[in-house]
Structure 1
Amino acid sequence: MPIYPTQAQQASLEALSWLTGAWRGHKGLDEIDEYWSYPAHGLMMGMFRWVREEKPWFTEHVTITQEPEGLILRIKHFNPGLVGWEEKEESVKFCAVELEPARAVFYRLNPDKPDLWMLYEHLEPGTLHSYFAQEGKEVAPEDKFVYRRFSL
């Protein structure tokens, strides 16, 4: 039995409005930022930046779209200079499988890879946690991305 569901859950994009805003944190000595637009017209847009030794290490462009099968999260990764990791027409794709007022669980839609879930949690005011969970593996505290809300 998987640790989280694997079937898409029908929900409105507005259920993720708590994710909206600017978030900043650290992974060890590295800086991490994540930014989310408000849900509108069936779309939320996100950006992620990882800075290592005061230089951009990589970025991500992320979307969550309202689709007939449910909420779909897509990620495209880029090295500095906007050099993409994925092929032109490809992205890493997840579907929402569990949504609560301050928690979202997305399941990776890739039959060639082991089960992987991406979680966002807004469990305390002004704090956002995001992390990946894999079947049969414990998520160590240092594997979580912990952000604090900040103003631009």
Structure 2
Amino acid sequence: MKYLFRLLFLFSLTISAQTENEIKITDSLTPKLENIKWISGNWKGEAFGGQTEENWSEPSGGSMMATFKLINDNQVSFYEIEIIREIENSLVLQLKHFDNDLKGWETKNETVDFPLIKITPTQVIFEGMSFEKVSDNEMNVYVDIKNDEGQIEIIKFNYKKS
């Protein structure tokens, strides 16, 4: 019964997220960094039972870059380095994960890549991760993460600009 409830809950989240995204993606913008510069800034929030911080640079040199860290019990759990770059008339989000001692999760030449699906005035939708502008000082980031049962869960990070 518990498994069935969890499955139904995840299914409803997926349907809800798809419907919400379908409604909001009608005003498509050109895939240029200039159209997503609202992501830049120092963002703080909570997720995974701890404090999160994500710092995005302004667009320059054909890319935007970010650092991410998760702090649990006053200790860093892990870091990420992220970039969004213009490639072949589109954008791609790439990232690498690191333990708290900067030992990489991915191999030396491997990145986790998220191809662009669509940009609107308030959303940047990549395959597996999306950014939503709530206001000039608040954004939500949605990440698809595989749970212990191998199913995809959508994790929401709510950030405030600091």
Identity %: 29
The match for 1:118 among 129, 134, 154 is: 129
Q: Does 1:95 align with 2:95?
A: no
Verify the 8 A CA contact 2:78 2:97 in the aligned structure 1: yes
- Mark the CA change 1:43 to 1:83 in structure 2 (over 3 Å): closer, same or farther: same
Aligned length: 133
Q: How does 1:52-131 map to 2 (within 5 A)?
A: 52-68=72-88, 70-107=90-127, 117-131=128-142
State the alpha-carbon separation in 1 of the partners of residues 111 and 123 from structure 2.
23
Partner-residue secondary structure (3-state), 1:18:
helix
- Mark the CA change 1:138 to 1:48 in structure 2 (over 3 Å): closer, same or farther: closer
State the alpha-carbon separation in 2 of the partners of residues 84 and 133 from structure 1.
20
State the alpha-carbon separation in 1 of the partners of residues 69 and 45 from structure 2.
10
Q: Does 1:33 align with 2:53?
A: yes
Shift of 1:125: 3.3
Partner-residue secondary structure (3-state), 2:59:
coil
TM-score norm. by structure 2 comes to 0.74
- Give the helix-richer structure, 1 or 2: 2
Moved over 3 A (4+): 2-5, 136-139
> Which structure would you say has the larger Rg?
2
Residues 99-119 of structure 1, C-alpha deviations (whole Å, 9 max, x = no match):
011210001xxxxxxxxx211
TM-score norm. by structure 1 comes to 0.79
Letter in 2 for 1:144: K
State the alpha-carbon separation in 1 of the partners of residues 82 and 35 from structure 2.
17
- Mark the CA change 1:82 to 1:93 in structure 2 (over 3 Å): closer, same or farther: same
Partner-residue secondary structure (3-state), 2:35:
helix
Letter in 2 for 1:34: E
Residue segments in structure 2 that go unaligned for 5+ positions in a row: 1-14, 23-28, 146-150
Letter in 2 for 1:99: I
State the alpha-carbon separation in 1 of the partners of residues 48 and 98 from structure 2.
21
Partner-residue secondary structure (3-state), 2:134:
coil
State the alpha-carbon separation in 2 of the partners of residues 60 and 138 from structure 1.
20
State the alpha-carbon separation in 2 of the partners of residues 23 and 17 from structure 1.
14
